[in-house]
Amino acid sequence: MAVERLNSQCISCLLNKHLKDFPDGMSSSKKTKFMQGILKIIGNAKIGVSAPEIVEQITDFKEKNGVTTDFSKIKKFYNDYLLSMEMGIEEKLAVSCNPLKLALQYAMAGNYIDYGPVKNVEESVVMESLLNAKNIKINDMLYECFKSEILEAKSIVYLIDNCGEIVLDKLLIKEILKLNNNVKITAVVRGKPVLNDCTLEDAKYVGLDEIVEVIDNGTGIAGTVLSRITPQVLNAIENADIIISKGQGNFETLHHCGKNIYYIFLCKCKMFAERFGVDAFTGMFVNDKCLKNH
């Protein structure tokens, strides 16, 4: 049975975000056609299609109608901002009694830097999120299972999400390699620019490629759709002992796929907060095999 990945709250969010996002100066008749085009994409979406896949279609449609947003400056700003903190965070990890857990908490906190659900990412909130990272609650049993599996793993796939955040992913990957320096880690980024998500260019900019192999998934979807990614990435996922998935978009496109996936993200929208019964921007660390009704 196909997983239902679309719901009324996703549809409402998509409508609010995109329906009236037309260029300045567009005539009334063209606005009508623009809005009808957005409605048609959303209306034709099947229940098994995730919101990130629909957004890809909407983005293509908007670009054809002159609506574009360049995130390159934002991506560079947050990559530079987190790179400026990298050494300080590494020093905190070095003196921590549980550096892997702390690195996991930092990586989770960095998931705030997401221009999908967060309209305007605030620098002050990023800093506050990082300062409070050590207070993020992690399920002890799941964490110990995660740590134990890392020690035994031969291959790990790490699904990267946003720029800026990727610097914290790099630090978590370093801690994983300290725990098991024989494991092969493959980091996967987006194949095309989408929002402030990471591409190969961004991964190289922050030096992730100097630590592990980095490959792109071949798509411009803000998530990981197994039927759309490259054979190379699919093969890596299929053969991985552990998959680490960052962000809501990767969760939306992958949940209930039955693989050994550890999801790390913040609940950045009302639907996710309600789904997990938590407050907005609560950190989540869950395994796909443990998901029930989520």
What backbone phi and psi angles, to 5 degrees, belong to 96? Answer: -75, 145
Please provide the CATH number assigned to the domain covering 72-290. 3.40.50.10880
Question: For the segment 43-57, what is each residue's pLDDT rounded down to a tens digit?
Answer: 999 988 999 999 999
Q: What is the pLDDT of residues 236-290, one digit of tens each?
A: 999 999 999 999 999 999 999 999 999 999 999 888 888 888 998 999 999 988 8
Q: How far is CA 193 from CA 69, 72, 204, 262, 266, in A?
A: 11, 9, 15, 25, 22
One-letter amino acid at 140 equals: D
**Dihedral Cα 166, 169, 171, 175, nearest 10 deg:** -160
Angle subtended at Cα 191 by Cα 76 and Cα 263, rounded to the nearest 5 degrees: 85
pTM of the model: 0.95
Q: Show Cβ contacts of residue 276 under 8 Å, excluding neighbours closer than 6 positions.
A: 267, 282, 284, 294
Residue with tokens 């987190």: 82
